[in-house]
Structure 1
Amino acid sequence: MKKYAWIGLILMCLYAQGQQITFDTRKTFQTMHSFGASDCWSMAIIGKNYPESKKKQIAEWLFSLETDASGTPKGIGLSLWRFNIGAGSFEQGQTSKITNEWRRAESFLTGTTYDWEKQKGQQYFLDAAKKNGVPYTLGFLNSSPVQMTQNGLAIGSGKLAEWNFNKDKIDAWTDFIATVSNHFQFTFLSPFNEPQWDWGPGKSGEASQEGTPINNVDLAWATRKLATKFQETHTKTRIVIPEAGQLNYLVDLKSNRPCQDGQIDEFFNVNSPNYLGNEPTVEKVIAGHSYFTTSPTSRRVALRQAVGKKAQEAQINYWQSEFCILGDNAGEIKGNGVDLGMKTALYVAKVIHSDIHDANATSWSWWLAVSANDFKDGLIYTFNGQTKGENDANKLDAELYDSKTLWALGNYARFVRPGMKRIEVSIQQPDCLITGFTDQKSNVFVLVNSGNAFEMNWPSQHEIKTYTTTEHQNLAFQSVRDGKIQVPSASIITLVYSSNKLFN
């Protein structure tokens, strides 16, 4: 193998049992921003009721950048923490028409008075994120405060695109958001969540959580009002929109949500009447959720390529801001039934890869940081024995279970840090995906191998750090100095090395 001098830019081929890996640090794509998760819904319960030792364990798993004595990370080092700003359904109790106590949220606002002792359980983990050095925080609303809605509730009317909001309260709404954003010094604020979904009462007259739809015209109007308030109050928090319920609503112009789709053009095309790209407090970002669009592979890739192309044309970044396993995904994997193992972890890792590689996502976030459900929606789970669910049995205390999905996300989040650039890389190994990143100080490769084990022969005698997640390992650290890297079957492995020590 020819020896290369380090010149800061690399074009290189590696060989792994006859298979070729090619990467080029001269060809870069998006600059990575963050990896995150949200505090819905369980953190309000856990942060308020659970023993300190268990809360600390959860915070360590989610936020820590420390390693144990063997060099293995103690946590996944999230770089973004999402905080649900409640609408006040908790105070309403059963009259909120939200059946599940776990999914009712407190409000900081009572009348015209702010009570910063509210949402203390969630504040515990927000504080923990900051203490652990998480660089970005984002506050998001599922509903406006109940005293500002049309029906006095935190759920929608059930009518397509009908925003549950009293427009006469727009000044109170912008005051509320600015006050909360400044109090917690959120880096970002997302005022709407999944605007395409109705979030209304079902046949029983009850709903499952806070939420409201909103159409593009109203969303643009309210965002302008909020942007003006942020300027007037010198609020440093940046506004992120629109958190589309599915990625197709970002690019489709003829969908089943005709006044809630085409959102990249609607908000970031200068010729659109709903253009928001000139608002100085609106982040040049389009945010959407990867739900229901991840299977089969052909659809996953094609849609993400369309999102990436459209975002590039609009000169904005794309954030995948919420995902877990929902639906049956073309028969590949079902949302029902908790899975702490590698099947779900590998599926999720492929989605992360596709959002980053095919759509050029700069930020990627999971849905529930902690779940009590018998569902594939958590990174960490809390159950009492075999008793699963958001119920009284798990309300005051329960056992904690880390999932392989947690550590799979960590293969990205812990090592692909804010400011790194994605580089061109490919691998000719069946059933193995790869992404590469650099900050000119270190290079990071993440391999998602759902196929057979193989060996890579790396052309350097300097240390390469590997972190491997398998059915029996969680970011397990190994220092490799002979250039021979073992990639297990059904694994996710991250390679890290110093840029200026790549070659002899």
Structure 2
Amino acid sequence: MNLFFQRKITGYAFCILLGLITPIFVQAQHKRIIKVKVNFNEPAQVIESFGASDAWTCQFAGLWPDAEKNKMADLLFSKKLDEAGTPLGIGLNFWRFAIGGGSTEQGKESGIRDEWRRQLSFLSLNGTYNEDAMPGQIWFMDAAKKRGVSNFLGFVNSPHVNFTLNQKAFSSDGLCNLDFKKVDAFSADLVNTIKIIKKKTGIELAYVSPVNEPQWKWNEGKQEGTPYTNEEITRLVKNLSGTLNKTQLKTKIQIVDAGQLNYLTDHQDTAKSRQIAYFFNPNSKGYLGDLNNLDNSISGHSYFTTSPEFKAIQIRKKVKDEVGKQNGLRFWMSEYCVLGDSTLKGEGRDLGMTTALFIAKLIHHDLTYANATSWQWWLAVSTGNYKDGLVYIDKSKTGGKVYDSKLLWAFGNYSRFIPVGSVRLNTQVSDEKDFYLSSYLKNNELITVAVNNSDEPIHLEIAGLAKNQKKIVVYTTSESANLTRSFTTSDAINLSAKSVTTIIGNKER
């Protein structure tokens, strides 16, 4: 050893013994300690899926060169590991396919100014079908299937323009734009679309969602959409159910993609609110629960319900309570991106940890307070200067660069490691200041996701993990890591500041 350093170390040791130097060295050895108790006798919901949608970008991105679009698909769906054991992608297991309303064929006459927000359809304006009309979206569906995705949903923003009152894919007056004189044709078109997708990909949609955010007016021409009252939804769904019953399809109808969560419970707009009770309470005039092809789930979007904190939690607890009143009903959080929040604005692309931590916390809240069994992001692929994408690409129809985001990888801390059929377990956490934790059990494996939104590292003690485990697997997302794999022991679980971490080990027997 260098004599200078030997003397220096000896000198510091002597000073420490004298009590002259202590604070800086002692403090550096200590981390914030958080203790967790996993309650195996308090199971909550069973996790079904984590997903995202192909709107609107995949119609063009699916036409890019193979290397670039396969990179996007790997980031979204791959469950493979690289040589270091780090995931190549986030392993989504659910994919939302946008069933368009035909505004693309209308072009500028559609009234939708941004062509990237116009949508394709197999149904042409002349009433014939072109089975090759949606190649980009079909490519992504095939790519998802090849990478192990098994559950697919088709969602409708607007009925095809052939079936709307104004022959547009958005409302002229903020009222329902479906021409109910043509509701049979609309239902038949959805069935034909499902059959074409199955013919081209071998995939039979597990679900079809015929309405989307029915509470909004959709009268601005920015994208496809139409409002519905609860009564109108009941009429449409009963018609679609009857049409599906005449086929051999196993596709279930999934409702209602509410524009924000409190429309499911007690929003003041009674014609479009209290949707859990309206559609699933047997005593309601709008009851749909007896339809054999209606899925026993209800979906809503987490927009505009993320702050303040106490209100966000209150709203989600009410959703859980109201869902719990109906026999076996499940709740899906089926769409979110950052549109605007008191603490985070939607404008401005963010590939870093700020948005990633915000969303990781939101996923935690939706899973633990609202008991969501499925959590689905909005745009899988985005071109915008906005916080709406998992993967970003250049705004080009022919090719360009592909950009991952910390949000993608933080979402992967949940989607990649919480298998279908995992049971969320209630937990007790000793210190929840800027810290959010949830645990899941599948077979004998305990999967814990910890969101450390604080500026300090944390030492985590989990009562529920088997003691003396020598090889607990840890995946970390932070400014310097993208689901980076490491190993630790049950008594040495340490979390970085500003990180999302997945911890996987055997449960205590």
**Structure 2 length as normaliser, TM-score?**
0.89
Q: Deviations over 1:317-345 (max 9, x none)?
A: 11000000012x12x11111111111110
| In 2: Cα distance, 1:457 partner to 1:447 partner | 12
Q: Which moved more, 1:480-489 or 1:299-308?
A: 480-489
Find the partner of 2:238 among 224, 229, 236: 224
Helix, strand or coil for the counterpart of 1:152? coil
Instruction: State the distance in 2 between where 1:498 and 1:238 align.
Output: 36
Q: 1:112 Cα deviation (Å)?
A: 3.8
Matched, 1:355 2:369: no
Give distance in 1, aligned partners of 2:262 and 2:461.
41
Partner of 1:182: 195
| Distance in 2, Cα, partners of 1:440 & 1:293 | 34
Cα distance change, pair 463–396 in 1 and its aligned pair in 2 (3 A): same
Matching of residues 178-217 of structure 1 within 5 Å:
178-184=191-197, 185-201=204-220, 207-217=221-231
- What is the distance in 1 between the residues matched to 2:444 and 2:69? 34
Structure 1 vs Structure 2: percent identity of aligned residues? 40
Where does 1:402-421 land on structure 2 (aligned, <5 Å)? 402-421=404-423
CA-CA distance at 1:17 after TM superposition:
5.9
Work out the CA distance in 2 between the residues paired with 1:228 and 1:96: 31
Structure 2: runs of 5 or more not aligned: 1-30, 198-203
Q: What amino acid does structure 2 have at the position aligned with 1:349?
A: A
Residue in 1 that maps onto 2:424: 422
> What letter matches 1:231 in structure 2?
N
Q: 1:96 aligns with which of 94, 110, 131?
A: 110
Partner of 1:6: none
TM-score, normalised to structure 1's length? 0.90
Corresponding residue for 1:3?
Answer: none
- Partner deviation per Cα, 1:161-182 (whole Å, 9 max, x = no partner): x211111212211111112223
Aligned to 1:470: 478
Partner of 1:87: 101
Aligned to 2:331: 318
Query: Paired residue for 1:150?
Result: 165
Output the CA distance in 2 between the equivalents of 1:225 and 1:19.
54
Contact 2:34 2:458 in 1 (8 A): no
Classify 1:266/1:69 alpha carbon distance in 2 versus 1 (closer, same or farther; 3 Å): same
2:138 to 123, 128, 132: 123
- For the residues of structure 2 that align with 1:225 and 1:359, how far apart are their CA atoms? 30
Q: Report the Cα distance in structure 2 between the residues aligned to 1:428 and 1:131, rounded to whole angstroms.
A: 43
Question: Cα distance, 1:149 vs. partner?
Answer: 0.7
Relative to structure 1, the CA distance from residue 71 to residue 148 in structure 2 (aligned partners, 3 Å threshold; closer, same or farther) is: same
Q: Whole-Å Cα distance in 2 between the matches of residues 29 and 401 of structure 1?
A: 36
> How many Å apart are 1:441 and its aligned residue?
3.2
Residue 27 of structure 1: which of 42, 54, 60 is its match? 42
Distance 2:307 2:405 in 1: 22
Aligned partner of 2:15 in structure 1 is: none
Alpha-carbon distance in structure 1 between the residues aligned to 2:98 and 2:315:
28
For 2:177, the aligned partner's letter is N
Counterparts of 1:361-400 in structure 2, within 5 Å, are 361-383=372-394, 394-400=396-402
1:434 correspondence with 2:437: yes
Does residue 291 (structure 1) correspond to residue 294 (structure 2)? The answer is no
In structure 2, C-alpha distance between the alignment counterparts of 1:19 and 1:307, rounded to whole Å? 29
- Deviation string 1:132-174 (CA, Å, 9 cap, x unpaired) is 1112100001111111111111111232xx2111112122111
Letter in 1 for 2:319: V
1:4 corresponds in structure 2 to none
Task: Give the gaps of 5 or more residues in structure 1.
Answer: 1-15, 202-206, 384-389
Tell me the CA shift for residue 18 of structure 1.
5.0
CA RMSD of aligned residues (A): 1.4
Q: Which of 96, 110, 114 pairs up with 2:129?
A: 114
- Structure 1 residue 306 displacement after superposition: 0.4
How far, CA to CA, are the matches of 1:189 and 1:132 in structure 2?
22
Q: Secondary structure at the match of 2:484?
A: strand
Partners of 2:490 and 2:164 lie apart in 1 by 64
Provide the C-alpha distance between the structure 1 equivalents of 2:306 and 2:173, rounded to a whole number of angstroms: 27
Contact 1:157 1:198 in 2 (8 A): no
What secondary structure, in the 3-state scheme, does the structure 2 residue paired with 1:128 have?
helix
Cα distance in 1 for partners of 2:180, 2:331 equals 30
- Say if 2:33 and 2:461, in contact at 8 Å, map to a contact too: no
Q: Which moved more, 1:307-316 or 1:473-482?
A: 473-482
Partner AA of 1:341 in structure 2: G
Deviation of 1:426 (Å): 2.5
Question: What is the Cα deviation at residue 258 of structure 1?
Answer: 3.1
Is contact 2:276–2:298 with CA below 8 Å preserved after alignment?
A: yes
- Any idea what SS the aligned residue of 1:467 has? strand
Which one-letter code corresponds to 1:83 in the other structure? F
Q: Which moved more, 1:450-459 or 1:427-436?
A: 450-459
Aligned mate of 1:40, from 52, 55, 60: 55
Matched, 1:454 2:467: no
Question: What is the alpha-carbon distance in structure 1 between the residues aligned to residue 254 and residue 172 of structure 2?
Answer: 25
Distance 1:441 1:113, change over 3 A: farther
Question: By how many angstroms is 1:234 displaced?
Answer: 2.4
Match of 1:455, as an amino acid?
A: H
What is the CA-CA distance between 1:457 and the residue it aligns to?
A: 4.9
Q: What is the distance in 2 between the residues matched to 1:369 and 1:17?
A: 36
- 1:336-393 Cα shifts (integer Å, max 9, x gaps): 111111111000011100000000000000000111111100111113xxxxxx5xxx
Q: Which residue of 2 aligns with 1:444?
A: 447
Write out aligned runs for 1:162-177 (5 A): 162-177=175-190
Displacement of 1:482: 6.3
Say if 2:264 and 2:274, in contact at 8 Å, map to a contact too: yes
Out of 265, 290, 315, the position equivalent to 1:251 is: 265
Aligned to 2:6: none
Q: Deviations over 1:40-81 (max 9, x none)?
A: 111111112x22111000000000011111111110000110
SS of the residue 1:368 aligns to: strand
- Whether the aligned pair in 1 keeps the contact of 2:265 and 2:319 (CA below 8 Å) is yes
Residues 81 and 136 of structure 1 are in contact (CA less than 8 Å); yes or no, is this contact kept in structure 2?
yes
- Equivalent-residue separation in structure 2 for 1:325 and 1:480 (angstroms): 34
Match of 2:314 in 1: 302
Give 1 or 2 for the bigger CA radius of gyration.
2
Q: How far apart are the structure 2 equivalents of 1:353 and 1:483?
A: 24
| Aligned equivalent of 1:56 | 70
Does the aligned pair in 2 maintain the 1:426–1:434 contact within 8 Å?
Answer: no
1:446-477 per-residue CA deviation (whole Å, 9 max, x = no partner) reads 00111120223563233211000001100000
Please give the per-residue CA displacement for 1:476-504, whole angstroms capped at 9, x wherever unaligned.
001224631220000000011234xx57x
Residue 33 of structure 1 aligns to which amino acid in structure 2? E
1:299 to partner: Cα distance:
1.1
